[in-house]
Every structure is written in structure tokens, then in C-alpha cells.
Amino acid sequence: MRETWVVAATSNRFGRSTESARESATRVAREAIEQSGLDPKAIGQTFVANCLGFAEHQAHVGPLINNGLGIPDVPSVTVESACSSSSAALHEAFVHVAGGFVDAALVVGVERVMQMDSLKATSYFADAADYPFETRNGATFPGLYATLAAAYAAKYPTRPEMFGAVAVKNHANAARNPHAHFQKEISMETYLSSPMIASPLRLYDCCPFSDGAAALVIAAKEASPRPRHEPLVVRASARAGAVTALQDRPTLLGLPSTRVAAEKAFRQARLEPRAIDFLEVHDCFTIAEMLALEDLGFFPPGGAKDAALEGVTQRDGKLPVNPSGGLKAKGHPVGATGAGQVVEIFEQMNGLAGTRGVPHAETALAHNVGATGGSCSVHILSRR
């Protein structure tokens, strides 16, 4: 495999967008290519992540992005892996570049859902669960993650403040992030008095519906890019799957696909979890951040529940988690989320993260889950 770099990474502000998905995707893609210093014609293939294009009557957005970039003859493919679509697209780009099929690839994640009301969005999103066993019987993602939270709380002594501390931390981080959907801090009192959505999950346990677009340029060292910012080396790009329906899982105390993807990633990178300076993990609900930290091997089972409350995972803690604000507060524009995590790591490592910067970071991990873990990606990125 060839050494493969992320040479550019950019996103728009997540939240409500007035642009169509096609427009915002093309704009961030153009910015990423400019940042990369590459001629657009050097892009060998574009990998697009977009789950709900049909809601805007615009599927097949890849060729349109390439048209807008002036490279209509470059092939594109849309990768769908629910909420992990753009980390899956990054994985495909990595395989193509590291394997020598192309010297440079463009990854674009984009979603536009805020033109729908929450009811419609909830219903569309739920189609990524197991339809006959879960969705058709009324399951929604808040409901499915509430089931995981309830199982966790039944096994380990858990107080609402433990979930609340994750929400308070991620809102505090997002308040310093110009890309974030919610740029406001919340207090524990606000968390505790927020409405119950699916017990035990409250409003502030949930990520919002967001619009957003993020783009990455991936290149081999041999492509001789002269990027504006310092490239990051992709040390590991690993994916895994799992049984989809929660009822068929041997345990609800974690997501099996995270464990498998993490094992693969650490083996590929030849690193241990202690080498990771900070993480962007998939906190679509606060329980998901806790499970991720345990499944990735940073805490023993039941050990992550106190992490945020004790300050360990805060920006200035021993193990900063989601300095971007995470899906919880930076936002979750499904197709753009995984690429957005890499944008955060890129900005952090390049000293572009302003007051939310994690000092002295050399190596970071991005963890992105599809639905309740039917798919999962783990990427490990380092400064050169």
C-alpha cells in the first residue's frame, strides 16, 4: 500500500442551509481542491456520500459536482452507509489511492434534510434500521438508542447527570466552533429540565437534524501535492458490519461493529489506544459516545459513564472527545458527518481550531457509525 494523505479538508457551517445539496457540495468540493493545490484534473475519482437526495429530487449528485468543478469526465460513485456514508466514502477513496488505482481522490459528504419537518425526517431516517423487524413496528432512532441507554443503565449504576455531562461538554465545544449547528452552551439544569424524547433520552441527549457538506482531498505522496495546509497521514482506514436488528444482538451493551473496526484499525496502524491524543466519535445520542469509548478500548465496560462528569473527556481533559461539539451539537447532516469529523481533525492538527484547539495533538481517531451499528468506520490520522 502507498502512503496516503488527507491533503485538504473543509466544510460549511452545519445547520439550516439555503443552498441545495448539489450547490453546497460543489462549493465545499471546490474549496477543498483549491486548498489541496492540485489541478482539478488530477482527481482520479470522486466519492460522494448522500443518503436523502431523493427528498430534494436530486439523486446521483456525483456527476453534477464534477460538472461544477469542470471535470465532467472524472468518474464518481455515491456511497451509502447510513450515518457512516462519508467515512465509508473516505475508506473507498483510501483503498483507491493506497492501492495505486488513482493518485488523488475527492470525498464529498452532503445532506439537506431541514426542509422537512421532524416527523418526516424521523420516518426517512428510520428506514436505515431493519424495516420488517424494527421500523415497521414503530422503532425510530431515538427509540432504538433509548433501548441501548436503558440496557446500559440497567447493568451499571447510572445517573442522568452522566448522560447530561456529555451533552454539556459537547455544547460547550460547539460554542467555539464556527462550523457547528448549535453554537450555544447549555447548563446541567437546562439538560435536566429538557423534555423527554424517548426515555431515558431527553432533548439534549439527541443530535439534531442538520444540513451540511464536507469535502476531503486524499492523495498519494507520489501525487506531489503542494497543499495550503500540512497533510495528515492516514494510518488506518477500517470498517466493520454487524447484525442490524437490536433484538438479534447477543448484547445491547455496546456496538459490535465498533469493536471489530477498532481492532482492525489499531492493528493496521500498529498503535495502541494510548497513542491517540483526541477523538471524534459518533455521539448521535449521548449514550452512543459512552458506548463508543468503551467499544474503542479507551474504557472498560461500564467505565465511560463517569468520563464526561469527571472531566476526562473535556477539551482540556486527559482524553479530549468531540472537541468539534460532536454530532450532538456540531450537528449530524448524515451524509456529511464522517467527512466532517475528519475536517475537525485536520483543523485541529493544523492549528486552525482557534479556541477549541487541543494542544500538542499528533494522532487522532475518527469513529462513525451507520444507524445502530450495522456499519462502522474507524480512521486513525497522524501528523507527518
Ligand X SMILES: CC(C)(COP(=O)(O)OP(=O)(O)OC[C@H]1O[C@@H](n2cnc3c(N)ncnc32)[C@H](O)[C@@H]1OP(=O)(O)O)[C@@H](O)C(=O)NCCC(=O)NCCS
Q: Is 122 in the site for ligand X (CB under 6 A)?
A: yes
- Which residue's C-alpha cell is 461544477? 68
Q: Is 91 a catalytic residue?
A: no
- The residue number with the shortest CB distance to ligand X is 118
Binding piece for ligand X, criterion CB under 6 A, among 71-79, 199-207, 345-353, 376-384? 199-207
* Distance in Å, CB of 254 to ligand X, minimum: 16
Residue 384 contacts residue 267 (beta carbons within 8 Å)? no
**CB atoms inside a 10 Å sphere around CB 206:** 22
Size of the site for ligand X (CB under 6 A): 16
Q: Is 197 in the site for ligand X (CB under 6 A)?
A: yes
Alpha-carbon distance of 246 to 224, in angstroms, equals: 46
Q: Is 141 in the site for ligand X (CB under 6 A)?
A: yes
Q: Of residues 5, 47, 94, 125, which one binds ligand X by CB under 6 A?
A: 125
Q: Is 208 in the site for ligand X (CB under 6 A)?
A: yes
Q: Is 5 in the site for ligand X (CB under 6 A)?
A: no
Nearer to ligand X, 83 or 106 (CB): 83
Q: Of residues 33, 69, 83, 281, which one binds ligand X by CB under 6 A?
A: 83
Q: Is 332 a catalytic residue?
A: yes
What 3 state SS string does 164-216 have? Answer: HHHHHHHHHHHCCCCCCCCCCCCCHHHHHCCCEEECCEEHHHECCCCEEEEEE
The catalytic residue among 83, 206, 284, 376 is 83
CA distances from 363 to 11, 262, 343 (A): 21, 15, 14
Q: Which among 9, 5, 90 has a CA at the least distance from the CA of 48? A: 90
Nearer to ligand X, 266 or 285 (CB): 285
Q: Of residues 150, 203, 233, 275, which one binds ligand X by CB under 6 A?
A: 203
Q: Is 209 in the site for ligand X (CB under 6 A)?
A: yes
* Distance in Å, CB of 144 to ligand X, minimum: 8
Alpha-carbon distance of 206 to 329, in angstroms, equals: 9
Stretch 265-284: interaction string toward ligand X, x if CB under 6 A: -------------------x
Site for ligand X in 299-358 (CB under 6 A): 332
Binding piece for ligand X, criterion CB under 6 A, among 118-126, 212-220, 259-267, 299-307? 118-126
Q: Which among 79, 71, 86, 64 has a CA at the least distance from the CA of 11? A: 86
* Distance in Å, CB of 373 to ligand X, minimum: 10
Residue 152 contacts residue 253 (beta carbons within 8 Å)? yes
The catalytic residue among 332, 367, 376, 379 is 332
Q: Which among 156, 163, 213 has a CA at the least distance from the CA of 22? A: 213
Alpha-carbon distance of 327 to 330, in angstroms, equals: 5
- The DSSP annotation for 18-48 comes to SS-HHHHHHHHHHHHHHHHT--GGG--EEEE
Q: Which residues are catalytic?
A: 83, 332
Q: Name the site residues for ligand X (rule: CB under 6 A).
A: 83, 118, 122, 125, 141-142, 182, 197, 203-204, 206-209, 284, 332
